[in-house]
Amino acid sequence: MGAPFECAGVLDGVRWALDASQQRALSLFETGANVALLGRAGCGKSVLMRRMVSMAIEKHGREAVAVTALSGSAAQILSGQTLHSLFGMDTRPLSRAGDPLQVAPVNVTESSVDRMVFQCATWRDCFERAAGKVICLTGSHRQRDAELQRVLDRLRWGRVNAAVMRKINLINEERLVQIESPSVVFTATDEILTNDESLVETAVTSLRSSVDLTVVLKLNAIFILTRKLGDNSPGSRGVVKRFISAGDQRASTVTEVECDFDGKLVVVGRSRFSAYNSSGTELAFCEKLPLLLGWAITVHRAQGFTLNAVQIDFRLDTWTTAGLAYTALPRVRSFSALCVKGSRRNLIQFSRCSATYYEKQLSEENIDPEQDGRPPIEP
C-alpha cells in the first residue's frame, strides 16, 4: 500500500486513521481514476471526499473537479451538487459518495419512471468500466455503540412532502414562540444566472429541496449548522448568543450571528448555495445563513449529519419509502442519545434493486456482505 496514510478525521476530539477500505479508495483516486464511494452511514464518506477534493484541486484546479452526492442535502454538506445534475460535465477526476440503501430521492421508487442513478448508462461509463471503479467503504466511524450498529445494519438491509414540512415547521415555530425575545428574520433571494426559461424552474426547485429562503431566529434559539464551519461539522447544534449589524452598529440590518457551539463562540455569516445544470454551469444561487432551527428537521434534510441527540417521531408520518427509517436513526452515535416514538414495522422498507446492486459491488471487491454489516438470514 506504500507509505502510511495520515489521519483522516477527528471524532469527539480523537483523531482516527483511514481504514483499509478508505486507503484502497484513496490509492485508486491518486491514479487519476473516477471513484464512487458507497457505504453505510458513518463509514467516513464525507471525510474521505473532502480529502480527495483537496488533492484534486491542488493537482487539477477547482474548475476541473466535480464533487457530488446522491441527495441534495448531502451534496450541500460537501459544497457540491447532486449526481443527477452532474453527468455531462468535462471533469477530471470524478468522485462521488453515497449509500444506495439510504432514503432514495423524493418520488423515486421501485416502480417509478425515474430510476436510481446507478441504473443509468452514464454511471456505468464513469464508474464501472476502464474510467473508474466503485469502492465500498466498510468502516464504522460514527457509532460507538455496538448494539446500535447492529440494529442499524438490520434496518439498512431490510431484515418529504409539503404536509410533512408543515408539521416540522410548526414544531420549530411553537418552540421559538416560547422564547421571550424579538425575532430577527434573515431572508435570501434566488439569483438566476441563466436566460433559459426552461431551466429556471428546475434550478429553483433544486435549491428549495435543500435550502429555505427565510430563517427566523431569536436570542437563545437552538439551531443546526448545515455547512462545515471551522471545526464545526454539518449537524453541529448551537445556540444563538448575539446578532451583529453591518457597518455602523446602530444600523438595523443584522448580517451575522454569534453562536455558541459547546462553549466556543463562532460568528456565522451567509454561505452560497447553488444549483447547477448537467454541464456544471451554475444556474442559480442564494446566499443565506447555513442554519436551521434545531428542534425539528426532516429525515431528508438530516442526511449526512452527525447529531449529539435525536428524538424521532414517526407518528407524524403517513407514508414511508425505502430507507426512511434507516436514514433517520444513524444520525447519533449511541442508543443513549436516541429516542424513537411511533415506530411501526411498515416503516422498515428497503430498495431491492439498490440492495442487489450493492451486493454486486461487494462481491466484485471480494468483500463478505457480513463484513459490511449485513446480518445473516435467521430461521
pLDDT score at 205: 84
Q: Do the strands 7-11 and 14-17 form a parallel or antiparallel pair, or are they unpaired?
A: antiparallel
157 pLDDT above the threshold of 80:
no
pLDDT score at 113: 41
pLDDT score at 222: 93
Model confidence band, residue 182 (pLDDT cutoffs 50, 70, 90): very high
Query: Comparing C-alpha atoms, which of 32, 8, 34 is closest to residue 21?
Result: 8
Q: How far apart are CA 223 and CA 260, in angstroms?
A: 10
pLDDT score at 89: 46
Q: Which residues contact 167 (CB under 8 A, 6 or more apart)?
A: 316
pLDDT score at 11: 46
- As a whole number, the mean pLDDT across the chain is 77
43 pLDDT above the threshold of 70:
yes
| Residues 34, 127 contacting (CB under 8 angstroms) | yes
6 pLDDT above the threshold of 50:
no
pLDDT score at 12: 44
* Mean local confidence (pLDDT), 205-227: 88
Which stretches of the chain are DSSP H helices? 20-30, 45-60, 72-77, 83-86, 121-127, 146-156, 162-177, 197-208, 299-302, 324-328, 352-364
Q: How far apart are CA 208 and CA 186, in angstroms?
A: 16
- Quick one: angle between helices 45-60 and 20-30, nearest 10? 20
Q: Which residues contact 26 (CB under 8 A, 6 or more apart)?
A: 5, 18, 48, 51, 52
Q: Which residues contact 145 (CB under 8 A, 6 or more apart)?
A: 333, 334, 335, 336
C-alpha cell of 324?
426512511
* Mean local confidence (pLDDT), 318-323: 68
pLDDT score at 240: 96
Q: How far apart are CA 32 and CA 3, in angstroms?
A: 18
Q: What is the CATH number of domain 7-143+348-372?
A: 3.40.50
The pair phi, psi for residue 228, each rounded to 5°, is -65, 130
The pair phi, psi for residue 209, each rounded to 5°, is -65, -20
Q: How far apart are CA 132 and CA 375, in angstroms?
A: 29
pLDDT score at 79: 57
pLDDT (tens digit, 9 = 90+) per residue, 103-150?
665 455 555 445 567 777 777 888 877 778 888 898 888 777 777 787
346 pLDDT above the threshold of 90:
no
pLDDT (tens digit, 9 = 90+) per residue, 264-299?
999 999 999 988 886 778 899 999 999 989 887 777
pLDDT score at 244: 92
Model confidence band, residue 1 (pLDDT cutoffs 50, 70, 90): very low
Q: How far apart are CA 209 and CA 187, in angstroms?
A: 17
Q: Of residues 119 and 175, which shows the higher confidence score?
A: 175
193 pLDDT above the threshold of 90:
yes
Q: How far apart are CA 58 and CA 52, in angstroms?
A: 10
pLDDT (tens digit, 9 = 90+) per residue, 45-64?
888 888 888 888 888 887 77
The full set of domain ranges for the chain reads: 7-143+348-372, 180-293
The pTM of the full predicted model, rounded to 2 decimals, is 0.56
Cis peptide bond N-terminal to 105, omega within 30: no
Which burial class, exposed, middle or buried, applies to 291 when counting CB atoms under 10 A from its CB (0-12, 13-18, 19+)?
A: buried
pLDDT score at 259: 96
Q: How far apart are CA 379 and CA 348, in angstroms?
A: 19
Least confident of 75-79, 212-216, 314-318: 75-79
C-alpha cell of 12?
469527539
Q: Of residues 357 and 168, which shows the higher confidence score?
A: 357
